[in-house]
Amino acid sequence: MSKKVQDAKITTKNSRASLAPRVAHWRELESGVHVGWRDGKWRVRVYLGSGKYKQKPLGLADDNLPADGHGVLDYRQAQRAAAQAASEILADQHAVATGAVVTVRAACEALALVRDDRTRSWRGRSHTNSTARNIFAKHVFPHRIADVALHQLTIADLRSWLRDLPRDLRSSSIKRMLNDLRAALNAATNPKGERILDAATIKEGLSLDAAKRPVNAKDEDAAPISFLSSEDIRRIVKSAEAQGADVHRMLSVLAATGCRFAQVLRCRVRDLNLTSCELTIPNSRKGKAKAGFEVRALPAFVVALLRPAVEGRVGDAPLFTIRRAERDEFAQWSRTGEPAPWDAYDLRSPWRAACIAAGVDPDVHTPNALRHTSIQRQILDRVPTMVVAKRHNTSVQMLESVYAKEIAKAADARETAFEI
């Protein structure tokens, strides 16, 4: 039980002037919490139990200088500062007692382990790191915020980290980082399963607008969405045959479905129905609709390409594999390695080679052009926008915001050509 304190007269300058020097004079704020004055300085004292107290300095008293609310405080300001400091001290004590001293680094590491397991399960490799781990290692762990305990983390700490991110990062990249950091902080709990950090702190601290970061020129100069003609796509898919059956299958499915590469590479052997010519494609991890899948009909020639990839293989095996290039004794590269699940970088070189062979500029048209073209074609064919969004695992709002300008241009061009 805390000591019974007789309140000292410390509320005004005149009353403090008559107090004995080199002695702390205390006044109770609430049970176990006292604000004190000693030799022109304010302090707070908090009772921790078992006869133990913890003190913390608050700032100068306004005995000789006018109060400014920061370094120099009057009594009312000292009261508010003492209440805030006391709540922090008690939070520290509770965290220690419950074993809940979890830092930002520990919370991020816990999420990274989960994401690593998921990524390795998809790709069938034990050494692959998730995107979340790479983001944390590059942008969170080197920053001072990494070693801040979650119960002490403030909105100011989060905004400071956000402002300190490299200036050349696009807003889209920063948003992906924020999503991963939010997930890590929201998932952090103490051993009792209690949430450590409140949602309001996370939401306000990681608000991109509130951080007031300078506008990055890269955001304004982002490469425009590109579209391919049907003849361009046919030539690219045909040229992909020279890159091997693995590449030919992948580009054929991307062109036929318009799905994201990240979705297609997660397909399993069991997802292909040879009888109905349908492929079950899992939803992207982007956005809110992360669970679920979309069943897409495939052209007969694409099913014929995929048939050899499923024969004699277990249902849980990755549907799409690739033989990685290996160098022989004559320093010549060829795709003779063992089949392995696709990785993000595996499509770059084959796509570039197929585009060049087809007479398409790979610096202008990325593999995403297949998806953009699929969306454009269906909207111009007057397929309901909601259906187009569902088929391509996106939202109507996203279609309208991202594709409206380019699709309007294409529609105008088609109308002009018809009139001519």
Please give the Cα distance from 340 to 75 (Å, whole number).
70
Question: Can you tell me whether residue 403 is helix, strand or coil?
Answer: helix
Q: Listing from the earlier edge strand, what are the strands of the sheet with 278-282? A: 272-273, 278-282, 293-297
Q: Furthest-apart CA pair in the chain: how many Å?
A: 99
Q: What is the pLDDT along the chain (420 residues), one digit of tens a residue?
A: 556 778 899 999 999 999 998 899 999 998 889 999 999 999 999 988 888 888 999 999 999 999 998 889 999 999 999 998 888 788 777 666 666 568 899 999 999 999 888 887 766 667 778 889 999 999 999 999 999 988 889 999 999 999 999 988 888 888 889 999 999 999 988 777 778 888 899 999 998 776 566 655 455 445 568 889 999 999 999 999 988 889 999 999 999 999 999 889 889 999 999 999 999 998 876 655 556 788 899 999 999 999 998 998 898 888 998 876 665 555 555 556 677 888 878 888 899 999 999 999 999 999 999 999 999 888 888 888 899 999 998 888 888 888 777 667 656 665 554 443
| 187 and 150 Cβ atoms separated by less than 8 Å | no
pLDDT for the residue 284: 78
Alpha carbon 203 to its chain centroid, in Å, reads 13
- Burial of 11 (C-beta count, 10 Å sphere; 0-12/13-18/19+): middle
Q: Answer whether 0.75 is exceeded by the pTM.
A: no
Question: Can you tell me whether residue 282 is helix, strand or coil?
Answer: strand
Calculate the alpha carbon distances from 336 to 255, 310, 312, 317 in Å: 26, 20, 20, 20
Please give the Cα distance from 237 to 240 (Å, whole number).
5
